[in-house]
Amino acid sequence: MMVEIAIFFLLIFMIIGMLFVLEIENLLSAVVMMGAIGFGLSVIFLLLGAPDLAIVQIAVEVISVVILIRATIHRDIKERADESLSNISSIPLLVCIFFFFLMIYPALRLLPTFGEPVFLNFYSSSVYYLRDGFHLTGAPNIVSAIILDFRAYDTLGEAIVLFTSVIGALSILRYRNRKKEHNAS
Amino acid sequence: MGLLPAFVAIPLLTALVLNIVEQKSWYTHILALSSSIFLAVLSFFTPQTHGIYYVGGFGPHIGINMMIDPLNRLILIVVQVIVMLACWYSVGYMEHYTSKSRFYAFVFLMLAGMNGIILTADFFNFYVFMEIATLASYVLVSYGGRSYELEASFKYMILGSISSLFMLLGIALIYSQTAALNMMVAAERIDPAHPVTFLIIVLFLAGLGLKSAIFPFHSWLPDAHSSAPAPISAILSGVLIKAVGIYVMLRFVFNFIGSENAPLTMLAWLGVIGAFVGVVLALGQKDLKRLLACSSVSQVGYIFIGIGLGTPLGLAGALLHLISHSASKSLLFFSAGSIEYSANERNITLLGGLKKLMPWTHLGNFIGFSAIGGIPPLSGFWSKLLILLACVSAGQWLIGLLAALFAIMTLSLLPKIEKNVFTGDIPEHLKKTKESPSSMIIPMIVLSFFCLGIGLIYLVPSWNQNILTSAVEVLMDGRWLGAINNVP
Amino acid sequence: MSGMTGIVKTVAEWIKGFILFYGVYIVLQGHLTPGGGFAGGVIIACSFIMMELAFGKQRAEKELSEHGSHLLDEFGAIAILLLGLWGYFLPQMPFFSNVLLEYWPGSPFHIISAGSIPLINLAIGIKVGTGLYTIFVSLAEYKPELQEKEE
Amino acid sequence: MIYTLCIILFLLGLYGVLVKRNIIKIIISLAMMNNAVNLFLILLAYRSNGVAPILDPGMDPSILLETSVDPLPQALVLTSVVIGLGVTALMVALAIRLYHAYGTFDITKIRKLKG
């Protein structure tokens, strides 16, 4: 119950932080606030019994904040987020999103109760991993056993996504895109 | 069955190797071409029956599986063949760009992503490979580095990321209901009448609709597909929106939640509106590649009409139109790229008289537009005819009438292009235009033969049985209830 | 950017080794304790990024050049793929099976255990660490004045 | 209740992506959407008074089934976090090029393509 209350307040903090990010003028503050939200998320992960994720989340959040500040904002700190005029067009969207929320709200109430995970009701893969994972792989960290053995194919895909984004960034930022003679012709 | 991982591993290995070879070496082309030809040949040797491959040796309840059946075998072959031709075409076309080996690396990453999507039987695995395919496509759209290309890529990326996140939320909801990620296991456990399932359907249809550019979500497609280099436009329009959007939509609607639980009529009507909006947008365009991209919206609309009917005939028409559109739209983008390559101009009002200067390109363009417009012996005629017949036999005569009307409107693109681009006086700045190199012409000729011959898939009874009917049967079998017990 | 003030440089000089060592520790212990290739890799990347931020590009190039980190990134990706394909080329073994577990299981709760899991972890650690560093360097050191103008 | 707050976070992110004009804010909003989905998965995995799915030396493996939270969503989220980082990095790269091509981060002023 304590965990639930703590998560409730952390989530409220994150939502307020998100509103802050959306409405503040100064971009630097918005990015720093994003880092704070990520930190709150990391604490939630820790409370929910996911220490692996808490480490990854906090490290990833540090990297995203550093990338955003160093690579974009320091180039042009004078530009403020000029958001004054978009209010009129944003109202219909806001209404749409609100109606979407109303539409899905009944479904959200029918989700499994918080604290009673659904995997216990079925013969699911999680039961198998928890019961036999250690014997089959020899790895005491079951999450590691899943991502590196049972679902290692996903991990390959994930590494390739990161690889794509590395060479993607390199090739987007290359200085010559087309050959000279073509431009002249 | 043992072949299936090769369709992911070989493109990935090729991409990784291509990224470290020297930039200007000739073996970049050789490596890319040989690898893509090998994959194309290999795809014909995949088994024709249902089959499942256990990745890591773990069964459906535990690990990730790959699966093959007549439906995804068909899509797999189409993807390999179009990508092979696009690689071939790139040998000549990409001369104007820098960093060719990395270009091929992205093409192969995209191919690996598409193959992973087509072959997987696992929801989360689908998400991961979808991200590979779409991330590579974002980069390729901005490959030329001009400001409008960057802009198109960024807008495509925003919408693509939103749709991916919708689907990830949908996958999370599926997990919350079934505690399973394997599509067959989840299909067995999910309750179609549950309100959460309704939310899943909404999220998936919105996400897949964005990826496949169905009517209300089509706005990104003309920008993105016209900004990419021509072989990439051919891959994006020809196969990517089909592998990521339409194929997954077919699986989700028919095999996962069941066609009786999906808003099929809505899909059909969205298809009708999409067919109309696409062709109207196309008629108003002056940019050749943008015109083709808009016409893709229209043709995707036809595929959705076929899907939305939900009858075997309609699905056969949708699949045939999928193949036919892959061939004809790739051909058209190749010929548009050839014009851009030689004349360095895409605006059709500034072009003219290219018939004499570029006869092969003219031929390819003519066949492509005839095929897409539905002139009888060509591929588009048979697929549209099938869709119209399906409309009539399903009693949806209004949809059929509108589809026929829009088909005639599509046909009017042919004289427009003929008049503006290929006949008339040659403008002064185009006098020195020459025909494109043969590496760009030959893929166009091959695709022209495909456009001529695809109607045979329907006309030859044994091919029809092996290719179309068996694929439609997979869909008409309905939800995957008990499929897991029949796994060999 | 040439770097930051002397205080930052001194502190960065002191703690860079610790951060790097911590990252490597997390990678190697990934199958025993919380952490693993991703977390450790991101921390390794953080240590290099800190050097780059504190000292500027020249000094960071000495630790790990951009080209070198790109090659290591490549190497990590190929290593994961080859570890997956290892089983594929053996008879009776599927794609991505834990081949090493058959031949060399090791003893539980030690670093050498769980077959090929530590190897994949190491490959991912290298891949993620160097990959993120490559992205960061290319983003931070992008010079728009070198960009060729379109026609 | 907690699920609802999580979905509200997702929808706020969606609102930010669709309405905000500054590219940096769009990127942050997309990252927040991803965070919300990740959190949703982990919330699904939680069991009251559950522990992390990690064995200590000397523990009986069978005890995990009684006490541990669901490990599978954690594995999925681990993958999804890194994918989100990759997407963010690629978007930042594009944003830098766009900024130097158009001289602004305002998406409404980045408009060479018609329609």
Residue ranges of C 43-72 with Cβ closer than 8 A to chain B? 71
Q: Which of A12, A47, A77 is the last residue of a domain?
A: A77
Phi, psi (rounded to 5 degrees) for B374: 90, 40
Q: Does A140 touch chain D (CB under 8 A)?
A: yes
Residue C115 belongs to what domain range?
A: 6-141
Flag whether A114 is in a domain.
no
- The pLDDT score that the predictor gives to residue B99 is 80
| Residue B137 confidence (pLDDT) above 90 | yes
Tell whether the model's pLDDT for residue B132 goes beyond 90. yes
Please give the residue that has the higher pLDDT: either B108 or C103: B108
Chain C residues lying within 8 Å of D92, measured CB to CB: 139
C145 touches chain B (CB under 8 A): no
Say if residue C1's pLDDT is above 60: no
> What is the average pLDDT across B84-98?
87
* CA–CA gap between residue D36 and residue D38 (Å, rounded): 5
A88-127 residues touching D, CB cutoff 8 A: 89-90, 93-94, 97, 100-101, 104-105, 108, 111-112, 114-120, 124-127
Q: Confidence class of residue A180 from pLDDT cuts 50, 70 and 90?
A: low
Cα–Cα distance, D46 to A126 (Å, whole number) = 13
Predicted local confidence at residue B23, as pLDDT = 63
What is the nearest CA distance from A183 to chain D, expressed in angstroms? 17
Neighbours of chain A (3+ CB pairs under 8 A): B, C, D
- Over 60: is that where the pLDDT of C110 sits? yes
Cα of C109 to nearest chain D Cα, Å: 7
- Asked whether residue A89 is assigned to any structural domain, the reply reads no
Q: State whether A56 and D94 contact (CB < 8 Å).
A: no
d(CA D106, CA B9): 41
Instruction: Report the alpha-carbon distance of residue D11 to residue D19 in Å, rounded.
Output: 12
Coil, strand or helix at B52: strand
Least confident of A80-89, A172-181, B125-134: A80-89
Mean pLDDT, residues B436-455 taken together = 89
Q: Which residue has the higher pLDDT, A71 or C84?
A: C84
10 Å Cβ neighbour count for A150? 28
Whether the predicted pLDDT of A87 surpasses 80: no
Instruction: Name the residue type at position B268.
Output: A
A112 belongs to a structural domain = no
Tokens at C39, concatenated: 């977390």
The domain of A17 spans 1-77
Say how many Å lie between the first and final Cα of chain C, rounded: 30
**How many C-beta neighbours within 10 Å does residue B202 have?**
17
Full DSSP string of B354-410? HHHH-HHHHHHHHHHHHHHHT-TTSHHHHHHHHHHHHHHHTT-HHHHHHHHHHHHHH
Q: Indicate the pLDDT class of residue B85, thresholds 50, 70 and 90.
A: very high
A179 to B97: CB separation less than 8 angstroms, yes or no: yes
Residue A62 near chain C (CB below 8 Å): yes
Final residue before a domain boundary, out of A16, A48, A77: A77
| pLDDT for the residue A184 | 39
pLDDT for position B24: 65
Show contacts of C10-16: CB within 8 Å, 24+ apart.
C12/C50, C12/C51, C12/C53, C12/C54, C12/C55, C15/C50, C16/C47, C16/C50, C16/C51
The three-state secondary structure class of C110 is coil
pLDDT at A86 exceeding the cut of 70: no
Structure tokens at B76: 């797999």
How far apart are alpha carbons B217 and B155 in whole angstroms? 12
pLDDT of residue D115: 46
Neighbours of chain B (3+ CB pairs under 8 A): A, C, D
**Closest alpha carbon to B208 in B241, B255, B177:** B241
Higher pLDDT residue, A75 or A52?
A52
Q: With beta carbons less than 8 A apart as the criterion, state whether B7 and B41 touch.
A: no
DSSP code per residue over D48-91: TT-B-SBPPTT--TTHHHHHBPPHHHHHHHHHHHHHHHHHHHHH
Q: pLDDT by residue (tens digit) across A142-174? A: 888 888 888 888 989 999 999 999 999 988 888
Average pLDDT, chain C: 82
User: Is the pLDDT score of A26 beyond 50?
Assistant: yes
Cβ atoms within 10 A of the Cβ of B59, count? 15
Most confident range, picked from B24-28, B246-250, C60-64: B246-250
Tokens of B468: 């179309």
Inter-chain residue contact B57 with C74, CB threshold 8 Å: no
Average pLDDT over residues B334-357: 85
Give the model confidence (pLDDT) of D26-85 as tens digits.
999 999 999 999 999 998 888 888 888 888 777 777 787 888 888 889 999 999 999 999
The 3-state secondary structure of B231-276 reads HHHHHHHHHHHHHHHHHHHHHHHHHHHCHHHCCHHHHHHHHHHHHH
The residue whose two tokens read 């087509």 is B118
Predicted confidence (pLDDT) at residue C54 exceeds the cutoff of 70: yes
Residue A142: list chain C partners with CB under 8 A.
none
Of B121 and A79, more confident: B121
Chain C residues whose CB is inside 8 A of the B56 CB are 87, 94-98
Task: Please compute the mean of the pLDDT values over residues B256-285 and round it to a whole number.
Answer: 89
The pLDDT of residue A75: 62
E-strand stretches of B389-463: none
**Residue of A52, A161, A168 with shortest CB distance to D78:** A52
Q: Give how many domains chain A has, as a whole number.
A: 2
Confidence of residue B448 (pLDDT cuts 50, 70, 90): very high
pLDDT of residue D22: 84
In the block, tokens 């919380």 appear at: C34
Give the type of residue at D96: I
- Residue A123: inside a domain: yes
Does residue B12 belong to the interface with chain C, where contact is any CB pair within 8 Å?
yes
Size of interface B-C (CB pairs under 8 A): 35
Neighbours of D51 (CB within 10 A): 13
The two structure tokens encoding residue D5: 């707050």
Is A23 within a domain? yes
- Residue A181 pLDDT > 60: no
Q: Is A147 on the interface with C (CB under 8 A)?
A: yes
* pLDDT for the residue numbered B232: 93
Question: Among A18, A43, A77, where does a domain finish?
Answer: A77
Residue scoring higher pLDDT (A19 or B429): A19
pLDDT reading at D13 higher than 50: yes
Separation between Cα atoms, residue B150 and residue B156, nearest integer Å: 10
Q: Contact, B143 vs B233, CB < 8 A?
A: no
Nearest to D74 among A52, A75, A94 (CB): A52
Do residue D54 and residue C34 have CB atoms under 8 angstroms apart?
yes
Report pLDDT for A80.
Answer: 56
Whether residue B10 is predicted with pLDDT greater than 50 in this model: the reply is yes
**CA B90 to centroid of chain Cα atoms:** 18
B433 vs B132, which has greater pLDDT? Answer: B132
Q: Is D47 helix (H, G, I), strand (E, B) or coil?
A: strand
A56-65, B304-313, B394-403, C91-100: segment of lowest average pLDDT: C91-100
Instruction: Share the mean pLDDT of chain A.
Output: 82
Domains belonging to chain D, first-starting first, are 2-52+65-102 (1.10.287.3510)
Residue of D nearest to C128 (CA): D82
Is residue C150, in this structure, part of any structural domain at all? no
Determine the residue type at B169.
L
- Please tell me the predicted confidence (pLDDT) of residue B234: 92
Same domain, A73 and A124: no
Residue A100 lies in a domain: no
Domain-embedded: residue C104:
yes
Q: What does the pLDDT read at residue D32? A: 92
Q: Look at residue A16 and tell me whether its pLDDT is greater than 90.
A: yes
**pLDDT, tens digit, 9 for 90 and up, residues B52-62:** 888 888 888 88
Residues in contact with B465: Cβ distance below 8 Å, sequence separation at least 6, in sequence order: none
Cα distance between residue B121 and residue B60, in whole Å = 9
C147 assigned to some structural domain: no
Smallest CA–CA distance, residue A137 to chain B, in Å, is: 12
User: Is pLDDT above 70 for B316?
Assistant: yes
A150, A133 Cβ separation under 8 angstroms:
yes
Polymer length in residues for chain A = 185
User: What is the C-alpha to C-alpha distance for residues B238 and B326, in angstroms, rounded to an integer?
Assistant: 4
Beta-carbon neighbour count of residue D108 at 10 Å? Answer: 12
Binary contact (D65, A72; C-beta < 8 A): no
Q: Report if residue A144 sits inside a domain.
A: yes
Q: How much is the average pLDDT of B28-41?
A: 91
Cβ within 8 Å, pair D96-C34: no
Q: Do D102 and B157 touch (CB under 8 A)?
A: no
Split at pLDDT 50, 70, 90, the class of B347 is confident
In 3D space, the residue among D109, D21, B161, D22 whose CA is nearest the CA of residue A90 turns out to be D21
Which amino acid type is present at position A131?
Answer: R
Of B31-40, B215-224, D14-23, the range with the highest mean pLDDT is B31-40
Cα dihedral A101/A102/A108/A110 (nearest 10) = -160
pLDDT digits (tens, 9 = 90+) for B476-487: 888 887 766 665
Which two structure tokens, joined as six digits, stand for B84? 């092979």
- Classify residue C113: in a domain, yes or no: yes
- Does residue A183 surpass a pLDDT of 60? no
Whether A41 is covered by a domain: the verdict is yes
Asked if residue B275 lies in contact with residue B380, where contact means CB atoms within 8 angstroms, the answer is: no
Distance from C-alpha of B128 to C-alpha of A123, rounded to nearest angstrom:
25
Nearest to B334 by CA among B342, A76, C62, C48: B342
Average pLDDT over residues A58-77: 80
Q: Which of D6, D11, D112, D114 to mutate to test the interface with B (most CBs of B within 10 A)?
A: D112
- Domains of chain B, residue spans: 145-486
Domains in chain C, number: 1
Q: Tell me if residue B81 falls in helix, strand or coil.
A: helix
**Summary mean pLDDT of chain B:** 88
**How far apart are the C-alpha atoms of B233 and B450, rounded to whole Å?**
19
Q: Which are the contacts of B470, defined by CB distance < 8 A and separation ≥ 6?
A: B48, B70
Region of poorest pLDDT, from B32-36, B121-125, B278-282, D51-55: D51-55
